[in-house]
Amino acid sequence: MFTIADITLHSHLLMGTGKFASARQLTETVKASGTELVTLALKRLNLQQKNDDILAPLQQLGVRLLPNTSGAKTAAEAIFAAELAREALDTHWLKLEIHPDPRYLMPDPIETLTAATELVKRGFVVLPYCSADPVLCKRLEDVGCAAVMPLGAPIGSNQGLQTLAMLELIIEQANVPVIVDAGLGAPSHACQALEMGASAVLVNTAIASADDPVQMAQAFRLACQAGALARQHGLANKGGSEGSSAVASSPMTEFLEAL
Protein backbone atom coordinates (compact mmCIF):
# COMPACT_ATOMS: atom_id res chain seq x y z
CA MET A 1 0.00 0.00 0.00
CA PHE A 2 1.36 3.38 -0.90
CA THR A 3 0.06 6.80 -1.77
CA ILE A 4 0.45 9.04 -4.79
CA ALA A 5 -1.16 12.44 -4.51
CA ASP A 6 -3.72 11.35 -1.93
CA ILE A 7 -4.67 8.24 -3.84
CA THR A 8 -3.89 5.02 -2.05
CA LEU A 9 -2.77 2.15 -4.22
CA HIS A 10 -2.85 -1.42 -3.01
CA SER A 11 -1.03 -2.95 -5.92
CA HIS A 12 2.69 -2.30 -6.27
CA LEU A 13 2.62 -3.16 -9.94
CA LEU A 14 2.05 -0.58 -12.66
CA MET A 15 1.54 -1.93 -16.11
CA GLY A 16 2.33 -0.53 -19.53
CA THR A 17 -0.11 -1.27 -22.32
CA GLY A 18 2.10 -1.42 -25.38
CA LYS A 19 3.06 -4.46 -27.45
CA PHE A 20 -0.04 -6.56 -26.76
CA ALA A 21 -1.47 -8.72 -29.53
CA SER A 22 -5.03 -7.53 -29.09
CA ALA A 23 -7.23 -5.33 -26.94
CA ARG A 24 -8.75 -8.45 -25.48
CA GLN A 25 -5.36 -9.84 -24.48
CA LEU A 26 -4.51 -6.50 -22.95
CA THR A 27 -7.59 -6.28 -20.79
CA GLU A 28 -7.30 -9.85 -19.59
CA THR A 29 -3.69 -9.24 -18.72
CA VAL A 30 -4.49 -6.05 -16.86
CA LYS A 31 -7.08 -7.92 -14.84
CA ALA A 32 -4.67 -10.73 -14.01
CA SER A 33 -1.96 -8.28 -12.96
CA GLY A 34 -4.10 -6.70 -10.27
CA THR A 35 -2.71 -3.32 -11.25
CA GLU A 36 -4.63 -0.17 -10.39
CA LEU A 37 -2.62 2.14 -12.61
CA VAL A 38 -1.78 1.62 -16.26
CA THR A 39 0.26 3.77 -18.57
CA LEU A 40 -0.75 4.36 -22.14
CA ALA A 41 0.95 6.16 -24.95
CA LEU A 42 -1.06 9.10 -26.15
CA LYS A 43 0.23 8.61 -29.66
CA ARG A 44 -1.34 5.19 -29.83
CA LEU A 45 -4.83 6.45 -29.12
CA ASN A 46 -7.35 7.56 -31.65
CA LEU A 47 -8.51 10.60 -29.75
CA GLN A 48 -11.14 11.58 -32.25
CA GLN A 49 -12.91 8.30 -31.84
CA LYS A 50 -14.79 7.70 -28.62
CA ASN A 51 -14.62 3.95 -28.72
CA ASP A 52 -10.92 3.63 -29.11
CA ASP A 53 -9.93 -0.04 -29.13
CA ILE A 54 -7.57 0.23 -26.23
CA LEU A 55 -9.05 3.01 -24.23
CA ALA A 56 -12.64 1.88 -23.90
CA PRO A 57 -11.97 -1.53 -22.36
CA LEU A 58 -9.41 -0.05 -19.95
CA GLN A 59 -11.93 2.48 -18.78
CA GLN A 60 -14.47 -0.26 -18.22
CA LEU A 61 -11.99 -2.13 -16.01
CA GLY A 62 -11.92 0.77 -13.60
CA VAL A 63 -8.13 1.07 -13.52
CA ARG A 64 -6.65 4.54 -13.27
CA LEU A 65 -5.10 5.78 -16.50
CA LEU A 66 -1.62 7.25 -16.57
CA PRO A 67 -1.09 8.69 -20.01
CA ASN A 68 2.55 9.09 -20.94
CA THR A 69 4.26 11.51 -23.24
CA SER A 70 6.36 8.86 -24.92
CA GLY A 71 7.78 10.19 -28.14
CA ALA A 72 8.24 13.74 -26.88
CA LYS A 73 11.75 15.00 -27.48
CA THR A 74 11.54 18.32 -25.69
CA ALA A 75 9.78 19.87 -22.73
CA ALA A 76 7.55 21.84 -25.08
CA GLU A 77 6.39 18.74 -26.89
CA ALA A 78 5.74 16.95 -23.64
CA ILE A 79 3.72 19.83 -22.21
CA PHE A 80 1.65 20.02 -25.35
CA ALA A 81 1.01 16.28 -25.24
CA ALA A 82 0.14 16.47 -21.56
CA GLU A 83 -2.55 19.06 -22.18
CA LEU A 84 -3.99 16.95 -24.97
CA ALA A 85 -4.05 13.93 -22.70
CA ARG A 86 -5.73 15.81 -19.87
CA GLU A 87 -8.46 16.97 -22.15
CA ALA A 88 -8.97 13.71 -23.98
CA LEU A 89 -8.72 11.30 -21.07
CA ASP A 90 -10.13 13.44 -18.33
CA THR A 91 -7.21 12.86 -15.97
CA HIS A 92 -4.53 15.19 -14.70
CA TRP A 93 -2.20 12.31 -13.87
CA LEU A 94 0.72 12.09 -16.19
CA LYS A 95 3.75 9.97 -16.76
CA LEU A 96 6.28 12.44 -18.06
CA GLU A 97 8.60 10.85 -20.57
CA ILE A 98 11.04 12.82 -22.71
CA HIS A 99 13.64 10.94 -24.71
CA PRO A 100 15.47 12.64 -27.54
CA ASP A 101 17.27 9.55 -28.73
CA PRO A 102 15.23 7.22 -30.89
CA ARG A 103 17.41 4.22 -30.23
CA TYR A 104 17.54 3.60 -26.49
CA LEU A 105 14.73 5.90 -25.37
CA MET A 106 16.85 7.19 -22.51
CA PRO A 107 15.25 10.11 -20.68
CA ASP A 108 16.56 13.67 -20.93
CA PRO A 109 17.21 15.04 -17.43
CA ILE A 110 17.16 18.70 -18.40
CA GLU A 111 13.98 18.73 -20.46
CA THR A 112 12.30 16.46 -17.92
CA LEU A 113 12.94 18.83 -15.03
CA THR A 114 11.83 21.81 -17.10
CA ALA A 115 8.60 20.13 -18.16
CA ALA A 116 7.91 18.76 -14.70
CA THR A 117 8.22 22.20 -13.17
CA GLU A 118 5.74 23.66 -15.61
CA LEU A 119 3.30 20.75 -15.47
CA VAL A 120 3.13 20.81 -11.69
CA LYS A 121 2.28 24.51 -11.92
CA ARG A 122 -0.48 23.64 -14.34
CA GLY A 123 -2.02 21.24 -11.89
CA PHE A 124 -0.81 17.91 -13.15
CA VAL A 125 0.10 14.99 -10.93
CA VAL A 126 3.49 14.36 -12.49
CA LEU A 127 5.35 11.05 -12.41
CA PRO A 128 8.57 11.53 -14.36
CA TYR A 129 10.53 8.72 -16.01
CA CYS A 130 14.17 9.58 -15.39
CA SER A 131 17.65 8.20 -15.17
CA ALA A 132 18.71 6.69 -11.84
CA ASP A 133 20.31 9.95 -10.77
CA PRO A 134 19.92 10.76 -7.07
CA VAL A 135 20.25 14.53 -7.46
CA LEU A 136 17.85 14.66 -10.38
CA CYS A 137 15.29 12.62 -8.44
CA LYS A 138 15.61 15.00 -5.51
CA ARG A 139 15.11 18.00 -7.76
CA LEU A 140 12.07 16.42 -9.40
CA GLU A 141 10.64 15.86 -5.96
CA ASP A 142 11.47 19.44 -4.99
CA VAL A 143 9.52 20.91 -7.90
CA GLY A 144 6.48 18.95 -6.84
CA CYS A 145 6.49 15.65 -8.67
CA ALA A 146 4.19 13.12 -7.05
CA ALA A 147 6.64 10.25 -7.53
CA VAL A 148 9.87 9.54 -9.37
CA MET A 149 10.35 6.75 -11.90
CA PRO A 150 14.07 6.03 -12.25
CA LEU A 151 15.05 3.40 -14.76
CA GLY A 152 16.41 -0.01 -13.74
CA ALA A 153 17.96 -0.74 -17.13
CA PRO A 154 17.43 0.35 -20.74
CA ILE A 155 13.78 0.02 -21.84
CA GLY A 156 12.99 -3.39 -23.23
CA SER A 157 16.34 -4.86 -22.20
CA ASN A 158 14.97 -7.22 -19.49
CA GLN A 159 18.26 -6.85 -17.64
CA GLY A 160 16.89 -6.09 -14.19
CA LEU A 161 18.28 -3.67 -11.63
CA GLN A 162 21.45 -2.59 -13.40
CA THR A 163 21.32 0.75 -11.60
CA LEU A 164 21.07 -0.82 -8.16
CA ALA A 165 23.69 1.29 -6.40
CA MET A 166 21.99 4.50 -7.52
CA LEU A 167 18.48 3.23 -6.75
CA GLU A 168 19.58 2.60 -3.18
CA LEU A 169 20.57 6.24 -2.75
CA ILE A 170 17.41 7.46 -4.47
CA ILE A 171 15.17 5.38 -2.21
CA GLU A 172 17.08 6.42 0.88
CA GLN A 173 16.64 10.11 0.09
CA ALA A 174 13.15 10.20 -1.39
CA ASN A 175 10.07 11.63 0.28
CA VAL A 176 7.83 10.60 -2.60
CA PRO A 177 7.24 7.09 -3.93
CA VAL A 178 10.05 5.64 -6.02
CA ILE A 179 8.71 3.54 -8.90
CA VAL A 180 11.33 1.54 -10.75
CA ASP A 181 10.65 1.76 -14.44
CA ALA A 182 12.16 0.09 -17.49
CA GLY A 183 14.32 -2.95 -17.90
CA LEU A 184 12.60 -5.27 -15.44
CA GLY A 185 12.51 -8.57 -17.28
CA ALA A 186 11.44 -11.11 -14.69
CA PRO A 187 9.28 -11.32 -11.60
CA SER A 188 12.42 -11.69 -9.50
CA HIS A 189 13.54 -8.24 -10.64
CA ALA A 190 10.26 -6.71 -9.53
CA CYS A 191 10.47 -8.55 -6.24
CA GLN A 192 13.99 -7.29 -5.64
CA ALA A 193 13.00 -3.69 -6.33
CA LEU A 194 10.24 -3.86 -3.74
CA GLU A 195 12.47 -5.64 -1.22
CA MET A 196 14.92 -2.75 -1.40
CA GLY A 197 12.21 -0.22 -0.73
CA ALA A 198 10.81 0.89 -4.05
CA SER A 199 7.09 1.67 -3.73
CA ALA A 200 6.24 0.07 -7.04
CA VAL A 201 7.53 -1.10 -10.39
CA LEU A 202 6.33 -0.50 -13.91
CA VAL A 203 6.42 -3.46 -16.27
CA ASN A 204 5.42 -3.73 -19.88
CA THR A 205 7.70 -5.63 -22.25
CA ALA A 206 8.33 -8.59 -19.96
CA ILE A 207 4.61 -9.19 -19.62
CA ALA A 208 3.47 -8.35 -23.15
CA SER A 209 6.26 -10.40 -24.76
CA ALA A 210 5.76 -13.51 -22.64
CA ASP A 211 4.38 -16.65 -24.20
CA ASP A 212 1.32 -16.19 -22.05
CA PRO A 213 0.94 -12.57 -20.92
CA VAL A 214 -1.98 -13.32 -18.60
CA GLN A 215 0.00 -15.88 -16.64
CA MET A 216 3.08 -13.69 -16.64
CA ALA A 217 1.04 -10.79 -15.28
CA GLN A 218 -0.08 -13.07 -12.48
CA ALA A 219 3.55 -14.00 -11.84
CA PHE A 220 4.55 -10.34 -11.55
CA ARG A 221 1.59 -9.69 -9.29
CA LEU A 222 2.70 -12.42 -6.89
CA ALA A 223 6.32 -11.32 -7.03
CA CYS A 224 5.36 -7.76 -6.14
CA GLN A 225 3.28 -8.96 -3.23
CA ALA A 226 6.22 -11.07 -2.09
CA GLY A 227 8.67 -8.18 -2.31
CA ALA A 228 6.41 -5.77 -0.48
CA LEU A 229 5.73 -8.27 2.29
CA ALA A 230 9.42 -9.00 2.68
CA ARG A 231 10.25 -5.31 2.89
CA GLN A 232 7.61 -4.77 5.51
CA HIS A 233 8.46 -7.70 7.72
CA GLY A 234 12.16 -7.49 8.03
CA LEU A 235 14.48 -9.20 5.62
CA ALA A 236 17.54 -10.49 7.38
CA ASN A 237 20.76 -8.75 6.40
CA LYS A 238 22.92 -10.08 3.64
CA GLY A 239 25.72 -11.32 5.75
CA GLY A 240 29.17 -12.56 5.09
CA SER A 241 29.55 -16.30 5.18
CA GLU A 242 30.69 -15.82 8.77
CA GLY A 243 27.03 -15.63 9.63
CA SER A 244 26.90 -19.37 9.63
CA SER A 245 29.70 -20.01 12.07
CA ALA A 246 27.50 -20.56 15.06
CA VAL A 247 25.19 -23.05 13.42
CA ALA A 248 27.29 -26.09 13.91
CA SER A 249 27.56 -25.65 17.63
CA SER A 250 26.17 -29.10 18.35
CA PRO A 251 27.77 -31.34 15.76
CA MET A 252 26.49 -34.80 15.08
CA THR A 253 29.39 -36.32 16.92
CA GLU A 254 28.09 -34.89 20.17
CA PHE A 255 24.68 -36.21 19.34
CA LEU A 256 26.01 -39.62 18.54
CA GLU A 257 28.02 -39.73 21.74
CA ALA A 258 24.95 -38.82 23.74
CA LEU A 259 23.00 -41.85 22.58
Tell whether residue 156 is among the known ligand binding residues.
yes
Q: How are strands ordered across the β-sheet holding 13-16?
A: 149-150, 125-130, 93-96, 64-68, 37-41, 13-16, 200-203, 179-181
Tell whether residue 204 is among the known ligand binding residues.
yes
Residues 32-51 that bind a second copy (CB under 8 A): 42-44
| Coil vs helix vs strand at 197 | coil
Min separation Cβ 198 and a second copy, Å: 12
CA 120, 125, 127: angle at the middle one, nearest 5? 100
Those residues with Cβ within 8 angstroms of residue 190's Cβ, 6 or more apart along the chain or in another chain: 13, 184, 201, 203, 220, 223, 224, 227
Q: Stretches 3-11, 56-64, 86-94, 249-257: which one binds a second copy (CB under 8 A)? A: 249-257
- On whether the CB atoms of residues 160 and 152 are closer than 8 A, the answer is yes
Q: Which of 126, 136, 145, 148 binds a second copy (CB under 8 A)?
A: 136
Q: Which of 176, 191, 201, 202 binds a second copy (CB under 8 A)?
A: 191
Q: Which of 8, 60, 175, 253 binds a second copy (CB under 8 A)?
A: 253
Q: Give the CA distances from residue 80 to residues 118, 121, 130, 144, 177, in Å, rounded to whole numbers and listed in that order.
A: 11, 14, 19, 19, 26
CA 92 to chain centre: 18
Q: Stretches 50-58, 85-93, 119-127, 230-238: which one binds a second copy (CB under 8 A)? A: 230-238
Q: Which of 1, 7, 101, 121 binds a second copy (CB under 8 A)?
A: 101
Tell whether residue 183 is among the known ligand binding residues.
yes
CA atoms 29, 31, 34, 36: torsion sign: positive
Q: Number of residues interacting with a second copy: please give it, by CB under 8 A.
A: 100
Q: Stretches 2-10, 51-59, 87-95, 150-158: which one binds a second copy (CB under 8 A)? A: 150-158
- On whether the CB atoms of residues 147 and 178 are closer than 8 A, the answer is yes
Catalytic residue (one of 19, 31, 50, 95): 95
User: Is 95 a residue of the active site?
Assistant: yes
Which is nearer to a second copy, 91 or 162 (by Cβ)?
162
User: Which residues partner with 128 through β-bridges?
Assistant: 96
Mark 105-124 with x for binding to a second copy (rule: CB under 8 A) and - for no binding.
xxxxxx--x-----------
Q: Stretches 7-15, 52-60, 86-94, 185-193: which one binds a second copy (CB under 8 A)? A: 185-193
Which is nearer to a second copy, 61 or 164 (by Cβ)?
164
Residues making up the binding site for 1-deoxy-D-xylulose 5-phosphate: 156, 182-183, 204-205
- Residues with a catalytic annotation lie at 95
